[in-house]
Structure 1
Amino acid sequence: MPRSDRRSDNRKTENKINKKGIIAGVILGVLLLGAGGYTVQSQTYKERFLPKTFIGDLDVSQLSVKEANEKLVQAQSDLSFVIEADGKEWKSFKKTELGLESNFETELEALQKKQNPWKWGVQYVAGPTNLKLAPSAFNEETLNEQTAKLETELVAWNKERTQTKNATLERKESGFEIVPEVQGDNVDTKKVIEDLQNQLLNGASNIELTDFIVKPSVKSDDPKLTQELESINKIAQVEATYVINGNSFQIPSEKINEWIIYQDGKVSLNRELVHAYVTQLGVDYNTSTNPSTFVSTKRGEVSVPAGSLSWTIATETETDELIASILAGESFSRSPIAQGSANSGSPLFGNTYIEIDLINQHMWYYKDGQLLLDTPVVTGKPSTPTPAGVFYAWNKALDETLRGTNDDGSKYAEPVDYWVPIDWTGVGIHDSDWQPAYGGELWKTVGSHGCINTPPNVMKQLYGMIDVGVPVLVF
């Protein structure tokens, strides 16, 4: 090859090399320039959110923490919470009025720091990033204060609505019956307030009051209610019989029905009404305050006042026992619990007794209806009369000395062979050998200090015939 041709080829090769170098240099320069710009931009995103960054529906792209906070605060201030009733707005609040906190800088700063500023370029290509804040915070004091006011309004509103009622048992003329439940449209205000607070904290914007309508918890077909009705009817139909002074009578079923109370699924009796009934029994039957009718030997039917042989119904105890007996649901017969010297169920006296007629100044002793002894006596003088009453011989004693005070204030001590006390004041039946005679009008002049003076020989017989506890009727 000629030398001139070789020189020409070398120059072409050198020119190609020079062009490639220039292009490479330009590319390198561009790359260096781009890298420098990317680096500068990356430094910017150290303090700002990356492109396509959202918090909820709010775009915070390229915003600083402060700018993002301001945007969020503005958005929060516009947030409302609506309470609806039957699909219509009943009440509306700004969430900030309910205590919504409105400063997110601390949390935003933490979220921004987690972003990689070197990825800002990639972020343009990638999809949007949605960051999440913690659930909205509310000032507890403000929230509680505002919801308390709301609850007061809600209660007033609720009163105007139909109230839901459980099926229950009610007293009717014919007895207790099941009254069906009522499905109202009132709401559970406590649950409304509780759910409202939860919904606020979870970011919700409304609640519907009709979601909280109260449902009846007891319906007419409830087996428990049916069982309770059976229990009440069983109690109402109890045959409650009292045996007092040997006579029996039944408490009217209408009366028992009046006493029954059904409340909160429980059956009880009105203690006040039962107590009043037992109290009236005492008024009518207590032998400690009521006289007894007695068919006397000479005067026919007489009324004998209450005396030491008597009883008084223990009202409080008997009330409780009567209630327990009725609630047992079984028919029963009982005599009242009483205090005293006699049994409330049995006749106060039968056909064995001592009879002392103050007007006729005479004494009789009957045993099992048979007259075993009778005698004239001398009873208390006008200044110390023998008390009338239904008494009993609560003791028998031999060779006693009776002591007391005479009308003039002097003391006396009178020995007797036979002594039968009949009351708690010192009155009794005894022999009296100092009396010249018995019966007639002698009691007015030589009457006793209240005892029944009896001829000594008769008193000896009587003492041997009677037992302690024998009734003594003085009238």
Structure 2
Amino acid sequence: MKEKKQNKEEKKEEKDSKENAGKVAEEKAGEKVPEKRKKRYIIIALGIAFILLVVAAVVVYCKGAAYYQTHFLPNTSINGIDCSNMEAREAAILLDAPIQNYSLKITGRNYKTGESGALIGEINSENIQLTYGNSEEAVKMLLEQQNAYEWIWAYVGNGQASSLERNIVFDEDILESIVTSWDACKKRNMLKAKDAYISQEPGLDGYYEVVPETVGTELDVNAVIHLAAEGIREKKDSIDLEEQGCYEEAFIRQDDRRLTSVVDKVNRWLSTSITYDWNGTEVILDREKLTEWITMQDGEPVLDEEKVAKFVKEQAAEYDTYGKKKKFVTTLGTELTLSSRNYGWKTDTETETEELIRLIYKGSTGTREPTYSITAMQKGTNDIGNSYVEADLSNQHLYLYQDGNIVLETDFVSGTMVSTYDCVTPEGIFGLTYKTRNAVLKGATYRTPVSYWMPFYGNYGMHDASWRGAFGGQIFMTSGSHGCINLPPDMAGQIYQYVSEGFPVICYYYGGAPYIGIQAPPASETVVPEEGGEQGAGEEGPAEQPPAETPVEQPPAEAPVETPVEQPPAEAPVETPVEQPPAEAPVETPAEQPPAETPVETPAEQPSAEATVE
């Protein structure tokens, strides 16, 4: 029962609370009605404001779009110029403004000096009536291409950069007249370019050089006008005519390989420097002399080889001693003037000329001796030296000097004075041709063996004469040899040991040869030329050679003859070595009628060409 009573009470309380809650809700609802109405008014007001704002925006946007139908959008640039909010005409004027101050400078070579970088002339826009022919139309076309409704985005965006190509208009006839009026473009002021070339004469330093090309100022005027017109159309600030190749240039430049090669060659020749030791005298051949011999002909160096040959001959004539007369002081103290028949220094002019030409072409430097065909014992004018054979033909006495001292002296028998004149022993200064042992002197009718044969002038020489019993005195006058110097055998052997090829042999007479023979002597003595083999002015002709055939000596009949073992020079007598003759001296056939016991020589008529003159 208690539970039922309790449930009723709970239900009653629940009902009372619901009634109370309803009353409270009614009271609250009465209070909220005015608040809802206020909110509604606010919403309506906001809606109206928004609509008005949208309408205003649309109006502004449409007005902006209409504006930019005739104006460029914000942040618009044309050819780098800001044209924002400008009409086409305004933009065209602004774009045309730079051309009103346009000028084109033409540079090139100074027409007087040829120097680069000179101002040739200047072209101004006003001079040639320079304009853009269609600027406004071109700007209008560019304006029409823009979208006016994007003007709002143009404000906030990066804008638009446009490039406008327009035709440049100017008076080309006026341009041509301006260009042709410049001094540099006048024909009379233009300098023609000249090719580089090799100087015709050596410079101050003695050498040839490549003369640089002459820079010309000759312009192709039509090319200048064309370049100026193109430069104006491209709105260039300057044009360098030299860079554009408007000048007539030299064809051959300073660095031309052919020119430099030729100059190198000729200067190599000129660099030749040779110091000669010409028979003890210093002769210098250098550039000073070479410039007289070397010239340029048709762009090539030419060495005058005839002048080279003349130079060699001149030096030979000056310093050669071969064939020249020399002073000689005899042992007895008398000074004589003797001819150098075949002795002295003689330049081989032909060989030396060829060698010198070769050295010049090579550009050689250094020292040298000329090529000699004949040499003496020592250099200088006194080329005899201190070692020589001195044959005093007048006194029939011989002296042998060695290093200035007499080491041997002996009597001898020389050529007879009663036979033909060619049997007279010649006087002069000679050089020993050669020497040989055990030779046979052969002629047409004789074969004479000798132990020592020492020729010094053609077929004249010194040899032993074992068949003679006496030497010296006046034997030579009537019983002399056929030209040779007959020596005692022991003395011939000693002399043979001292002498050698080229050893000086000096023969002389005091007062001339005492000839008393049947043939008249020559009116004047003949000598070899004094210019080393070249005939000089005022000099006597070449010396006479012995006759083709010579007197012979009769050797002992029993003397055995050996076959030749040594061949002498071509001009020397042909000798055949033989065994030593018997101890008995051979008897010579008398020329006149001497006593039977006196050995004499019998002149023969004409021996063979290979015979040796004694």
TM-score with structure 1 length normalisation? 0.48
Which entry has the higher C-alpha Rg, 1 or 2? Answer: 2
| Greater fraction of residues in strand | 1
Superposition TM-score, scaled by structure 2 size: 0.38
